[in-house]
């Protein structure tokens, strides 16, 4: 029976050092709760000596009940020429009152000389003294051997003496601090350390500067490590840390190793953490990305419909993700059926309606529409073609006016819109922070005359992309609008040489889709 793999998540420490990431105490508590619910063993939450915010977090964390995870304070070994008992950093780590303390020390003799200005023997004493001091005061200690792999490559004897000095720690983590190692180097080095210290529990801490952090972490486990450190969605300084989502899925599904983490919660946990970090998960991220199980080519879709294993390496549900079929000019009738049978189950592969829909899709894609990203607009289009759609209103006219310079403390744009519903018309006007915002508000006001529940929907995102950039400012643009009613989310599309007209197309589809939902 292979030993289980414990996971230390450093999103709150290493992840917080990433560009564009700034976490409040409440943000850190929210992420910690998500990680605890997901089931990691350790949450590395920051250095209590580095800033008041981290210290405030540790005080707040003491009031929480953590079901699975242990909160860890992070800091360095004692300073040179200072005893462990007198070292302010170690005292701050104790004051954090966490059950686990993670301390780092130098494993590369070049760093010892150049950075610490200490002798090799003194560095070893700093490591051993610090671990003993913290253990004697009831702390579980994880030691991070900083720059271990570079240090081992330069002077293996000294790097191994660092592991010997740290061997009383619960876990000794070998760190690829610069992220420059390749999997073969990691494997051989971890294997050598595991052979030299069979009684020491080893961990791996990999950075992604060479694009190998996940692979390096997986091969380190193969070579004998039973503890993995990283961050969710791979966030971290420079190129980031090892992505724990990919590692945990790889260990559980590929290596069949017992490992922290409730795998069906993986996608939801990653998405929730990304939302707190105010970052977007890469669409192509393994396991958790929106495109991880998205199929576009007709041949691929046909294969997946017959046997999902033909083009999917795992069942998407295993990690809480879902299969998606993307609709485009390269999709075939099989892709269309997989998509539209949810709301038009009567259609068959060889039906005339299916062929008409496919032809219209290719025509629209040639004109610049991209329905793979706009499911709501595609559904409206299909239902219109097969005669199942209901037209809730018609646009009669619209007008927008912009003003520059904008009046102080006033919105710079206004819009007027007129619609018709069952022979009756309504007109409304509004001002907004630009013509699209003004049109959105005016459209809602006009629709509210006939459909009061239109106020339940709201816009959540607005994207514009130039399609044929060779036409400069006369280029055709594609507008995608994300909308929600608080329960559902949907995306609509508009295409035109006029960005306002394209936006209005997407706004009209968004309203039509919402009205179809509430009047179903």
Q: Report the candidate in 289, 324, 284 with the shortest Cα–Cα distance to residue 304.
A: 324
Quick check: is 13 in a domain?
yes
319 with 465, same domain: the answer is no
248 with 310, same domain: the answer is no
Quick check: is 288 in a domain?
no
- Domain enclosing residue 497, as ranges: 394-518
243 with 100, same domain: the answer is yes
Quick check: is 277 in a domain?
no
Helix (H) or strand (E) segment spanning residue 26 = helix 25-38
Which of 245, 261, 277 is at the close of a domain? 261
| Cβ partners under 8 Å of residue 77, min gap 6 | 103, 104, 105, 126, 127, 129, 130
- Structural domains in the chain (count): 3
246 with 141, same domain: the answer is yes
Tell me, rounded to whole angstroms, the distance of Cα 122 from its chain centroid: 42
298 with 245, same domain: the answer is no
Which of 214, 239, 261 is at the close of a domain? 261
The predicted model scores a pTM of: 0.73
Q: What is the rounded distance in angstroms from the CA atom of residue 506 to the CA atom of residue 55?
A: 48
- The set of long-range contacts for 56-64, using a CB threshold of 8 Å and a minimum separation of 24, is 56/25, 57/12, 57/25, 57/28, 57/29, 58/96, 58/97, 58/98, 60/25, 60/29, 61/29, 61/32, 61/98, 62/97, 64/29, 64/32, 64/33
Quick check: is 380 in a domain?
no
Kindly state the tokens that stand for 459: 């816009």
58 with 133, same domain: the answer is yes
Quick check: is 287 in a domain?
no
CB burial string 251-282: b at 16+ within 10 A, e below: bbbeeebebbbebebbbbbbbbbbebbeeebb
41 with 181, same domain: the answer is yes
pLDDT tens string for the chain (520 positions)?
Answer: 789 999 999 999 999 999 989 899 999 999 999 999 999 999 999 999 877 888 899 999 999 999 999 999 999 999 999 999 999 999 999 999 999 999 999 999 999 999 999 999 999 999 999 999 999 999 999 999 999 999 999 999 999 999 999 999 999 999 999 999 999 999 999 999 999 999 999 999 999 999 999 999 999 999 999 999 999 999 999 999 999 999 999 999 999 999 999 999 999 999 899 989 988 888 899 999 888 887 776 677 667 767 778 888 999 999 998 877 666 555 555 666 767 776 777 777 777 877 788 788 778 877 888 777 788 998 898 888 888 888 999 999 999 998 777 666 667 889 999 999 999 999 999 998 889 999 999 999 999 999 999 999 998 888 888 876 555 556 788 999 999 888 888 999 999 989 999 999 999 999 999 999 998 7
Strands of 394-402's sheet, edge to edge?
A: 394-402, 413-421, 424-432
Q: What is the CATH classification number for the domain harbouring 401?
A: 3.30.160.270
Which of 328, 348, 366 is at the close of a domain? 366
Quick check: is 193 in a domain?
yes
362 with 452, same domain: the answer is no
Quick check: is 172 in a domain?
yes
436 with 485, same domain: the answer is yes
Q: What is the CATH classification number for the domain harbouring 188?
A: 3.20.20.70
171 with 85, same domain: the answer is yes
Quick check: is 270 in a domain?
no
59 with 191, same domain: the answer is yes
pLDDT score recorded for residue 26: 92
415 with 354, same domain: the answer is no
């Amino acid at each position: 029976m292979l030993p289980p793999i414990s996971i230390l998540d450093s999103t709150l420490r290493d992840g917080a050092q990433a560009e564009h990431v700034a976490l409040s105490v409440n943000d850190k508590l929210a992420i910690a709760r998500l990680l605890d619910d997901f089931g990691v063993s350790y949450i590395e939450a920051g250095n209590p000596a580095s800033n008041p915010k981290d210290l405030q977090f540790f005080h707040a964390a003491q009031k929480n009940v953590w079901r699975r995870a242990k909160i860890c304070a992070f800091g360095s070994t004692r300073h040179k020429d200072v005893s462990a008992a007198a070292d302010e950093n170690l005292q701050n780590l104790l004051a954090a009152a966490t059950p686990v303390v993670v301390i780092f020390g130098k494993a590369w003799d070049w760093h010892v000389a150049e950075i610490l200005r200490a002798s090799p023997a003194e560095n070893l004493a700093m490591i051993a003294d610090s671990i003993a001091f913290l253990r004697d005061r009831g702390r579980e200690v994880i030691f991070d051997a900083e720059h271990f792999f570079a240090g081992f490559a330069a002077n293996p004897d000294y790097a191994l003496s660092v592991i010997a000095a740290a061997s009383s720690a619960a876990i000794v983590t070998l760190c690829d601090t610069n992220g420059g190692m390749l999997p073969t180097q990691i494997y051989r080095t971890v294997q050598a350390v595991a052979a030299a210290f069979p009684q020491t529990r080893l961990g791996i801490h990999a950075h992604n500067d060479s694009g190998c952090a996940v692979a390096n972490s997986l091969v380190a486990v193969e070579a004998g490590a039973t503890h993995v450190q990283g961050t969710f969605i791979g966030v971290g300084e420079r190129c980031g840390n090892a992505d724990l989502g990919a590692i945990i899925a790889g260990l559980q599904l590929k290596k069949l190793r017992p490992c922290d983490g409730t795998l069906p919660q993986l996608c939801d946990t990653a998405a929730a953490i990304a939302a707190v970090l105010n970052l977007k998960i890469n669409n192509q991220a393994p396991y958790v990305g929106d495109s991880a199980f998205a199929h576009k080519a007709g041949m691929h879709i046909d294969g997946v419909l017959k046997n999902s294993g033909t083009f999917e390496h795992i069942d998407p549900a295993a990690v809480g993700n879902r299969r998606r079929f993307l609709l485009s000019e390269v999709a075939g009738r099989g892709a269309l059926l997989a998509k539209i049978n949810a709301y038009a189950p009567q259609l068959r592969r060889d039906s005339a309606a299916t062929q008409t829909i496919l032809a219209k899709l290719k025509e629209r894609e040639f004109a610049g529409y991209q329905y793979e990203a706009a499911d709501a607009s595609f559904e409206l289009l299909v239902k219109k073609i097969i005669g199942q759609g209901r037209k809730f209103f018609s646009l009669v006219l619209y007008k927008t006016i912009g003003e520059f310079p904008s009046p102080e403390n006033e919105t710079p744009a206004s819009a007027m819109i007129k619609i018709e519903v069952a022979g009756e018309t309504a007109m409304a006007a509004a001002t907004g922070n630009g013509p699209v915002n003004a049109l959105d508000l005016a459209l809602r006001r006009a629709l509210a005359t006939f459909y009061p529940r239109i106020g339940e929907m709201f816009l959540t995102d607005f994207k514009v992309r130039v399609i044929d950039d060779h036409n400069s400012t006369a280029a055709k643009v594609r507008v995608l609008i994300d909308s929600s009613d608080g329960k559902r989310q949907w995306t609509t599309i508009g295409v035109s040489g006029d960005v306002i007209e394209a936006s209005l197309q997407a706004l009209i589809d968004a309203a039509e889709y919402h009205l179809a939902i509430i009047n179903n």
